[in-house]
Amino acid sequence: MIDVGSLSKGMYIVYGGEIYRIVDVNKHFRARGSGLIRTKLKNVSTGLIREVNFNSGEKVEEAQITFRKAEYLYNDGSSYYFMDNETFEQYGIPEDEIGDDKYYLVENTEIDLIMHDGKPIGIQLPTSVVLEVTETEPGFKGDTVSGGGKPAILETGLKITVPFFVEVGDKVRVDTRTGDYIERA
């Protein structure tokens, strides 16, 4: 059991006998120190999102999850498929459970499968991935002074801002937590 004051986005908890991933958490403190923790919880089996308010001092059960190294194989339009690196077993995860993480998945990307009771309930991406630029405007000589950037579309459909010297066909390293350009790879 953990205190609701230590809940954070991305954690998995058991609430009402079901496993939920915390999508959002806000802490509000009222007069005399009593607090209210507002959460948005996504049910990992049904995908439904519900808002739950906890009073400070309440306790919830943290879900028992494990991580398994896996490799992204392919998607068939509705699910994304991964292969466990130890057992070579394949797992399919529905696209809505992958969410925006799909923009960082290219074939053979190594990820961590989040497992509960032997079933995958989600994925954890590496902190950065290398993706190829498929669309961007040409850079102009002398543009480096402004220090800004230009929009680019990567091979997975992700839209980011890149420095002016990056061209179509270049491979760039992208931070999966923020979606920001890190460096040319």
For 79-95, write each residue's pLDDT tens digit. 899 999 899 999 988 88
Q: Where, residue-wise, is CATH 2.40.50.140 in the chain? A: 66-124, 128-184
CATH 2.40.50.140 applies to domain 128-184: yes
For the cut 60, the answer to whether the pLDDT of residue 50 exceeds it is: yes
Q: Which pLDDT score is estimated for 28?
A: 83
User: Up-side HSE of residue 86: CA atoms within 13 Å toward CB?
Assistant: 5
What percent of the chain is modeled with pLDDT above 90? 21
Per-residue burial over 61-73, b if 16 or more Cβ lie within 10 Å, else e, is eebebeebebbbb
For the cut 80, the answer to whether the pLDDT of residue 15 exceeds it is: yes
For the cut 70, the answer to whether the pLDDT of residue 140 exceeds it is: no
Fold of 2-62: SH3 type barrels. (2.30.30)
Q: For residues 148-173, give the mean pLDDT.
A: 89
Decide which of 57 and 70 is more confident.
Answer: 70
Fold of 66-124: OB fold (Dihydrolipoamide Acetyltransferase, E2P) (2.40.50)
Rounded CA-CA distance 99/122 in Å is 10
Q: Which pLDDT score is estimated for 7?
A: 87
Which of 11-20, 42-51, 75-84, 86-95 shows the lowest mean pLDDT across its residues?
A: 42-51
